[in-house]
Amino acid sequence: MIPKIYLNPGHSDKDPGAVGFEVERKLNVKVSQYHMDHLLSNYKCEVRMSPGTMSGLPAIAEDANAWGADLFISNHFNAGGGDGWEGLVYAKENIPLGQVFEKHIKAAGQNSRGVKLRPDLAVLRLTNMPAVLNEGAFVDNLKDIQDWNDDAELKRLGIAYAEATAEYLKLENKADKLYRVQVGAYRNHSNAEALAHKLKAAGFDAYITTQ
């Protein structure tokens, strides 16, 4: 089965989220698009993103549950004057999921405020699969958000989220392909056997097929 990942850019077309030096919803959508693009370009998986027109957090959780997602990720930006990323999870058993994201976020250059339990959040409480909510940076802290607000920076953040997703789900890389090299074709079976014998003696896998 191909793993299914459900992405939720926080808030909606009618709800901008936190507003400071940047508008949160705009950043949520951009980083989630980079997140999805990197996953689909590099890993064998399916990705669904909640539309901005979807009304209410219970509907988003229900959509993820009905689709049968293996992992739910909600991407947000924070407010309140702090600094850094934090990961929110439902229960203690989900902390390792948050820690995988924390590892990749720190490697991308953002500091961490840690992984925290938030069982009150609807998208964590109502989803049937493991779920994490990322708070990428603080939109009302210029020092923090100016490092994570242009397209190149948002792409770096989205890729960090994607690589964390891939690590947690152990996604298969699309580059991991097997290529076979044909070294000869003969009408005489004994000639084919002779070549196969030489290849095996040299340490190569060799087998004979017919068309």
Q: What is the mean pLDDT of residues 168-175?
A: 95
pLDDT tens for residues 124-133? 999 999 999 9
Phi and psi at 19, nearest 5°, equal -125, 125
Question: Over 60: is that where the pLDDT of 46 sits?
Answer: yes
- Tokens describing residue 164: 């964390």
What pLDDT band is residue 190 in, cutting at 50, 70 and 90?
Answer: confident
Residue 178: band (very low, low, confident or very high) from pLDDT cuts 50, 70, 90: low
Residue 192 has what pLDDT? 74
Share of the chain above pLDDT 70, in %: 94
CA distance 7 to 197: 52
Whole-structure pTM value: 0.83
pLDDT, position 169 = 98
Confidence class for position 196, pLDDT limits 50, 70, 90: confident
- Mean pLDDT on 139-148: 98
Task: Name which of 25-39, 59-73, 156-170, 183-197 the model is least confident about.
Answer: 183-197
